[in-house]
Amino acid sequence: MEMQHHLFATRFIIFLIITFVHVPSSTYANDDERYVNCGNLFDCGDIKGVGYPFSGSNTPDYCGHPELKLDCSDQDAEITIQKLTYKVLDINYQSRNLSVARKDYAENICPTLLLNTTWIPNTLNYTSDDQNIAIYYGCLPQVAPTLPYSSEFPCTKNTTAMTGYFTAVSDFSVFGSSASNLTSYLASCKDSIEVPVRQSALAKILSTPTVTQLLEGLNEGFDFVWSANDTSCEECKSSGGKCGYNQTTAAFSCYCKDGPRESSCQQSPTAAPSPTAAKSPSMSSCLLLFFSAGVTLEVNRKTA
């Protein structure tokens, strides 16, 4: 009889351990999955505490705009925009500025793929403070005009040697009578791209138009300004919600503890709570069932 009593007590202790470990608190279990997950923030290297309209790492896609997804590589925050990967230098929520630098020009003036930075999504715009540098590839060698603010450079791309040329001015009229010569020369180049640089970097390139100075200027980066329903996000957060993005409706979504809303947790739910946020059995219910079973076993044992 005593052995049976100890066996019952041992089973009871094991049940308590399993219950406390595997049954979440009723408050957490009732919270919508998207509300919980979008409370996480993106951290990578020097870029920390980033939330909506960005997502990435431990924040799922529905926590941010699909065009503003961040990645983390070797402690460098990155964002890929129209097939181009940029290193994220800074994210300023007050000015809504996203500062980036092209990773393909981090060390080499001759990247494998030549892609323009001018291809950007609707959520981003250039700032008026930046100016484009034009870089040309596959130009005719040994005939480049010698002009200020411009320079010729050797380039090897995909094991093919070629001549490159860049100019830090957009209006060739500053070259006077040599403008037509430069226009004709650049027309002979096979490829060209444009990359924005800051005004401070541009001034250095104009004074010393070398490849080294150009790369330094490109690595200083430039700024995008984002636009992604920030006003709705502030309204959502002030009502206790978490900001996110409904990829089905392609619209902002405010995730609340009991489900999503359009912009504020004070509104009626716009959809049913996430299936994974279904209620778990309460601790009291589990214990009641266990004690009932234990009493039944004990009664059956005594009457046996």
The yes-or-no verdict on residue 285 having pLDDT over 80 is no
What percent of the chain is predicted at pLDDT more than 90? 44
Residue 91 CB: number of other CB atoms within 10 A? 22
Q: Between the CA of residue 134 and those of 59, 117, 197, 269, what are the distances in Å?
A: 37, 11, 11, 51
Contact (CB, 8 A) for 104 and 114: no
Please report the pLDDT score of residue 119 as a whole number. 66
Least confident range from 21-35, 123-137, 169-183, 209-223: namely 21-35
- Identify the CA nearest to 138 among candidates 126, 124, 155: 155
Please report the pLDDT score of residue 30 as a whole number. 65
Please report the pLDDT score of residue 191 as a whole number. 92
Please report the pLDDT score of residue 270 as a whole number. 60
| 156 confidence band (pLDDT: 50, 70, 90) | confident
* Cα–Cα–Cα angle for 167, 171, 173, rounded to 5 degrees: 110
Please report the pLDDT score of residue 31 as a whole number. 73
- Does this model's pTM top 0.85? My answer is no
H-helix or E-strand spanning residue 95: none
pLDDT tens digit string along 58-90?
A: 889 999 998 899 999 989 999 998 888 999 999
| 157 confidence band (pLDDT: 50, 70, 90) | confident
Least confident range from 34-48, 75-89, 114-128, 280-294: namely 280-294
What number is the average pLDDT over the span 171-200? 90
The yes-or-no verdict on residue 173 having pLDDT over 90 is no
What number is the average pLDDT over the span 150-156? 89
Contact (CB, 8 A) for 46 and 38: no
pLDDT tens digit string along 85-136?
A: 999 999 999 999 999 999 999 988 998 888 888 667 778 888 877 888 999 9
Domain assignments of the chain as residue spans, ordered by start: 69-227
In the numeric block, which tokens belong to residue 57? 């790492």
Average pLDDT, the chain: 80
